[in-house]
Structure 1
Amino acid sequence: MPAVADRLRAALGEAAVSTSESDLDARSHDTWPVATLWARLGRHPYRPEVVVRARGVADVVTTLRIATEAGVPVTAWGLGSSVTGQPLPVSGGVVLDLSGHVFEPRLDEVDRTVRVAAGTRGSDLEAWLAERGLTLNHSPQSLGRSTVGGWVATRATGQFSSRYGGIEDLVVGYQVVLADGTVAEVGQRPRAAMGPDLKEIFIGSEGTLGVVTEVTLKVYAEAPHRIVEAFAVPTVDAGLDAMRQITQAGLRPFLVRFYDRDEAAHAVPGREVPSPVLFLGHEGLPGVATAEHTAATAIVEALGGTSMGAPPVTAWLGRRYDFSTIERRLAETGGYAETIEVAHFWSRIGPMYRDLKDQLAPLADEVLGHFSHVYEQGSSLYVILLGRADDDKTALARLEEIWDRAMKVVVAHEGEVSHHHGGGLARQPWVRQSLGSGYPVLERIKAGLDPAHLLNPGKLGFGLAQPRDPEPPAV
């Protein structure tokens, strides 16, 4: 690797290439709770040997060409906000940091699109658009901690996806650099029938097929009217039925969040909440938003829901990017927390939810559940676990057991093992079971685009992610 580092410095400049211990350590942990505990225990099982700070597409091309010639793996890195270990370099090599690849967004007001660099921070882009009366309507909880390129690579979704869709619906096209340095533009104008949609190949590929460098996204005018309301709902089954009926009736709320009774106490703090709670919101032209909300309210009320008014939802909208509950727990010695998002059809998500709650209850002090992204055929399920152990080693073992047990339950119910956090390292053992007989198709695409398996090895089932330093000396 020293020779490769020297070649990179000669091509990119001294400032763009680092082998300092602090930079290597910083790129060996993302915000996956497991990685947080590794860091506190002084463990660096997945550590790069070189960090390259890309300042533009040319730097990405140069890095990939040098790495490919030398047979050195490359793992793309945005802001390290993944919660499943996606950007951790399991085979060492080069971490390609794209957070410095930014430029002034290029807005097309007629087509309502914006072109941005992959390193652009989500909150920076949203603020830039807000100054012009526009919005992405893409609002992951990590908006201020994640990049546009990361959204594409991980197939991210946002809190308003029930109306506006996930990143796959918001991306018009993008630029991607392949393993050998080839630069490709993929996308449609606005739809095409010339072969398969190549845009879909790299969305969610977690940097294993190519490195996304620029993205063209849809933008929207800020909604002129918004209505929000919370409802107490008698049971989880009634809430699921309400969401299903609303969606299948063709109504398009921008906000749908349904909390079970355990999480409702967190969603509506400082208020007695004896039942599950549904947050519902509609926006758009005043007459349309009002009509949709009236129709959705009738569905909820027919299933026993009663209004709690707008304040619980308004309060949540003001704190919806807050990670502090999980961060505070992880900051405690022996504290652990985890978030696991899965999905299933309406006909099967209830039983899967109940089985997950039952199976995970012994492993945490609190097991919370909510359903927050709805489709005509089904919904996501988001499970939050909070616990305390005697020490950090025990807490780490507990997190590993949580992942193993949760994935086994979801696979047994034939559900989707990930809804929007992707696979990363957390779900690496379950990729092949998740994709089933479709996995060989992905393998052949990988073989064609990255035959040497140099791009983010150890993810999406491509090679087993074995820690090189699983038990370092205690520090």
Structure 2
Amino acid sequence: MPFIVFFLVHDIVKLRSGVVGRIPDIVVWPASEDQVVEIIEGAKKYDVAIIPIGGGTSVSGALECPKYEARSICSLDMSIMNKIIYIDEENLLCRAQATFFLLLNEKGFTCGHEPDSVEFSTLGGWVATRASGMKKNKYGNIEDLLVHVTLITPQGYIRRQCQVPRMSSGPDLHQVVLGSEGILGVVTEATIKIFPKPEVKKYGSLIFPTFRHGVNFFREVARQHCECASLRLVDNEQFSMGQAMKIDDG
């Protein structure tokens, strides 16, 4: 089975030094929600710890195994569950599993949520880590896009019975699931808001005499309510680092 592994800086240091540390005792790839339920029930029965894995970008350190965990560890890789359940073009909603970003673009839509790891990260990972994207100024963070989510726990399913943008009948379940980092259960599906792909994309850059001038510019943009999808202020060191790590397309 083909797979891609991404590493944090300290992961690379460990590999180069020959000190890998603890690794999962087993890795499983569920292909359906029912299989996720079976795996979690089995782990509960035999007292096995589960670490859910989305795209494996490891921003949250999900590839690491706790050093002092006495139980066997199962890595639950969600990458195979990558279907779009449906696209509601009238209400601009999409219900999907893990990897759906490129499939959505092919249909002429975007969710507008683009973290730095967008090519590799997953919808479930975005929800579980309460992710933010580079275009949040226009489209919002993942909590602003989320309409419905399914979380499978050792006690069963957690999900709302209706699918509406907002409810005011008690505590918001989504606020419990968002940012839960896999400690409560596994996100298998989610419904999010979508938007037609923009017909035009324009990019530009400005050079400021000092970093403070750049900060003041950002504040003025906010005061004027200019709806730029993305604004990023970098200093010379960050810019030089970005250029040094840039992949040569040629």
User: Mapping of 1:25-424 within 5 angstroms?
Assistant: 30-90=6-66, 91=69, 92-117=72-97, 119-120=98-99, 125-180=100-155, 182-186=156-160, 189-265=164-240, 325=245
- 1:76 Cα deviation (Å)? 0.5
Q: Which residue of 2 aligns with 1:431?
A: none
In structure 2, the residue matched to 1:303 is none
Q: Which amino acid aligns with 1:246?
A: V
The letter for the 2-side match of 1:164 is: Y
Q: Matches of 1:266 and 1:70 in 2, distance apart?
A: 47
CA distance in 2, matches of 1:99, 1:264: 33
State the distance in 2 between where 1:242 and 1:146 align.
Answer: 32
Counterpart CA distance in 1 for 2:19 and 2:241 is: 33
Distance of aligned partners of 1:191 and 1:84 in 2 relative to their CA distance in 1, 3 Å threshold: closer
Number of positions where the alignment pairs a residue of Structure 1 with one of Structure 2:
243
Identity level (%): 29
Deviations 1:319-344 (A, max 9, x none): xxxxx81899xxxxxxxxxxxxxxxx
Q: Distance in 1 between matches of 2:142 and 2:22?
A: 28
Could you tell me how far 1:211 is from its partner in structure 2? 0.7
The residue type equivalent to 1:89 in the other structure is C
Distance in 1 between the 2:15 and 2:56 partners? 14
- 2: CA distance between counterparts of 1:327 and 1:130? 23
SS in 2 for 1:241: helix
Report the Cα distance in structure 1 between the residues aligned to 2:180 and 2:115, rounded to whole angstroms. 18
Which residue in the other structure is 1:319 paired with? none
Which one has a larger percent helix, Structure 1 or Structure 2?
Answer: 1
SS of residue in 1 equivalent to 2:216: helix
Relative to structure 1, the CA distance from residue 62 to residue 113 in structure 2 (aligned partners, 3 Å threshold; closer, same or farther) is: same
Could you tell me whether the CA contact under 8 Å between 1:89 and 1:95 is conserved in 2? no
1:255 alignment partner, SS class: coil
Distance 1:254 1:114, change over 3 A: same
Q: 1:369-391 CA distances to partner (integer Å, 9 max, x unpaired)?
A: xxxxxxxxxxxxxxxxxxxxxxx
Return the offset for 1:265. Answer: 4.2
| Structure 1 unaligned regions, length at least 5 | 1-14, 16-22, 270-323, 329-475
**TM-fit CA distance, 1:87:** 3.5
Indicate the SS of the match to 1:259. coil
The one-letter code matched in structure 2 to 1:141 is D
Q: Deviations over 1:421-442 (max 9, x none)?
A: xxxxxxxxxxxxxxxxxxxxxx
Rg comparison, structure with higher value = 1
Distance 2:130 2:246 in 1: 23
Paired residues of 2:101 and 2:110 also in contact (CA < 8 A):
yes
- 8 Å contact 1:30–1:88 — kept in the other structure? no
- Shift in alpha-carbon separation, 1:159–1:150, aligned structure 2, 3 A: same
What is the DSSP-based 3-state SS (H/G/I as helix, E as strand, rest coil) of the residue aligned with 1:69? helix
Please tell me whether the aligned partners of residues 155 and 204 of structure 1 are also in contact (alpha carbons under 8 angstroms).
yes
Q: For 1:196 and 1:168, locate their aligned partners in 2 and report how far apart those are by CA, in whole Å.
A: 15
Report Cα offsets for 1:248-271 as digits up to 9, x if no partner: 33222102011113234456x6xx
Residue identity opposite 1:130 in structure 2: N
Hey, which bits of structure 1, 4+ residues long, moved more than 3 A? 224-228, 264-267
Deviation for aligned residue 1:193: 0.7
> Residues of 2 paired with 1:237 and 1:264: CA distance?
16
Residue 25 of structure 2 contacts residue 74 of structure 2 at CA under 8 Å; is this kept in 1?
yes
Distance 2:80 2:16 in 1: 27
Offset of residue 170 of structure 1: 1.6
Q: Name the TM-score, length of structure 1 as normaliser.
A: 0.47
Q: How does the TM-score come out when normalised to structure 2?
A: 0.86
* 8 Å CA contact retained: 2:51, 2:75: yes
Q: Deviations over 1:197-220 (max 9, x none)?
A: 111211111101111001111111
Match for 2:90: what amino acid?
Answer: V
Alpha-carbon distance in structure 2 between the residues aligned to 1:226 and 1:72: 48
8 Å CA contact retained: 1:30, 1:85: no
Q: CA–CA distance in 2 between the matches of 1:101 and 1:58?
A: 11
